[in-house]
Amino acid sequence: YLLAQTTPSPAADTSARQAKEAPSLLFKKKPDALENIHMNFLLRSSLEIPDGDRQSSMRMNEARFEVLGTIAPDLDFRIRYRLNRAQTPRDLDNSPGSLDHASVNYKFGKDKKWSVNVGKQAAYVGNWEFETNPTYEYQYSDFVNYQTNLFLMGIRFGYQVNKNHGFFLQLHNTYNNSFHTTYANAGYAADGLKGSKTPMGVYASWLGKMFDQKLHTFWSYNVSQYASGKTNHAVALGNKLTLKKLKGYLDLQWAAMPVDYVNIASPSINKYQQQLNPGFVPGFARDVNYKGAVLRLDYEFIPGWFLTTKGIFESSSQTKDNSTIGKNFRENIGILAGLEYKPIASQHMKLFGYYYNNQVKYRNVIADANAHQRSSLFAVGVLYFVNAF
């Protein structure tokens, strides 16, 4: 995590740079043929002790395999897949949920300022929480877990103005599954909607470095379609601070969803509607707005020892046509505090322990049908970003 925060580059470039820049006490000369090829494993396991009746267990939190590299000048490839996810392909993009990256990146033009990245790739959303290597992120917001379609088929064009500022346009599939399958999986009725002929969208993103590279911005605007005639809009403003002993980020985001395909808020609205009218047919709710803020701060108080904290606040609203459901009818609040120890300076391995508390609260009429939920978790474990070569 530390490492991911010290590198200002986005997900698609992070790990290669990690492998290259990582200060190693064990530096070994690589043969020419492998100089630009890297194989990585992303591992995290922990003993999780939840409160209440839920069973304690040792869980595999992360197990991913990555190969990436540069073969010809200016031509990179990246493959990353999860070892604990089914490899069955989704029906719109023919790619499985287990495959994070399978892409080719090509730099061109004067001074190689232009680039194009094609294939399965990370959404270029302005969000440092997601941008951080998943090895280092213990608990995610709903924004990363559900709201954003994170790994998708796309084409990303980039223009690097100078070493501090780059601009990107990413054309992407809105979701991985077809319209019909999305409804079938949720068990919802289509409610008069039909799939867009072109269920795609665009991210316009800016990556900037300021104040002697101490502040890294990653801001994006997204417009996309999934149902015919229904257009989603979203803004995400990621801001990362990299000081000597203190590192962290503040991510802010807003989204307007004419149809709530992300399905975070819909279950609570369906429950409320069914209470009013037992014959109500559940579906994706209309005109839901999301907003959220995530703050993470890590402080190295003794060399090799880190205090890590994270706060999550997210809310859902439905205000169109003076809906009785109203503002902030669902809130998701998370608080994490933990301690990390990095015993070997050259290796991205940490022992960790943390406490996480999560609450989901309902307001207005929605609270009548949905009770507050509260859960907490204590975890101890090991994470290791293994750079095999």
120-149 residues near its own copies, rule: CB under 8 A: 120
Span interacting with its own copies, options 132-140, 160-168, 194-202, 245-253, rule CB under 8 A: 194-202
Is 184 an interacting residue with respect to its own copies (CB under 8 A)?
no
Instruction: Please state, in angstroms and rounded to a whole number, the distance separating the CA atoms of residues 205 and 136.
Output: 24
- Our finding on whether 220 is near its own copies (CB under 8 A) is no
Which of the ranges 30-38, 231-239, 241-249, 290-298 carries the binding residues for its own copies, by CB under 8 A? 30-38
Q: Is 265 exposed, middle or buried (0-12, 13-18, 19+ CB in 10 A)?
A: buried
**Alpha helices per DSSP H over 245-320:** 266-276
Count of other CB atoms within 10 angstroms of residue 90? 17
For residues 176 and 122, what is the distance between their CA atoms, to the nearest angstrom?
A: 13
Which x/- pattern over 279-308 shows residues binding its own copies (rule: CB under 8 A)? ------------------------------
User: CA 347, CA 135: separation in Å to the nearest integer?
Assistant: 13
User: Do 135 and 118 meet the contact criterion of CB atoms below 8 Å apart?
Assistant: no
To its own copies, the closest distance from the beta carbon of 201 in angstroms equals: 11
Q: Pick the closest to residue 178 from 169, 190, 164, 166 (CA basis).
A: 190
How many secondary structure helices (H) and strands (E) does the chain include? 7, 16
Q: Is the separation of the CB atoms in 275 and 339 below 8 Å?
A: no
Is 47 a residue that touches its own copies (CB under 8 A)? yes
Tokens at 372, concatenated: 């507050």
Binding characters for its own copies, 67-106, by CB under 8 A (x = yes)? x-x-xxx-x-x-x-x-xxxxxxx--xxxxx-xx--xxx-x
- Among 8, 10, 119, 258, contact with its own copies (rule: CB under 8 A): 119
Nearest CA-CA partner of 164 in 202, 213, 199, 126: 213
Q: How far is the CB of 112 from its own copies (least distance, A)?
A: 14
The C-alpha atoms of residue 119 and residue 85 are separated, in whole angstroms, by: 20
Candidates 27-35, 249-257, 307-315, 333-341 — which segment interacts with its own copies by CB under 8 A? 27-35
**Are 256 and 233 in contact, with CB atoms under 8 Å apart?**
yes
Helix (H, G, I), strand (E, B) or coil at 148: coil
Nearer to its own copies, 80 or 247 (CB): 80
Out of 61, 224, 239, 266, name the contact with its own copies by CB under 8 A. Answer: 61
Minimum CB–partner distance for residue 241 and its own copies (Å) = 29
Q: Which is nearer to its own copies, 1 or 362 (CB)?
A: 1
Is there a contact between 172 and 130 (Cβ–Cβ < 8 Å)?
no
Site for its own copies, residues 222 to 261, rule: CB under 8 A: none
Work out which of 145, 196, 328, 358 binds its own copies, going by CB under 8 A. 196
Q: Which is nearer to its own copies, 243 or 382 (CB)?
A: 382
Q: In terms of CB distance, is 209 or 348 closer to its own copies?
A: 348
Using the rule CB under 8 A, which residue among 23, 29, 277, 322 binds its own copies?
Answer: 29
The span of 39-47, 125-133, 255-263, 319-327 binding its own copies (CB under 8 A) equals 39-47
CB of 270 to its own copies, least distance (A): 24
Number of residues that bind its own copies (CB under 8 A): 82
Structure tokens at 230: 């229904």
Q: Tokens for 145?
A: 């877990």
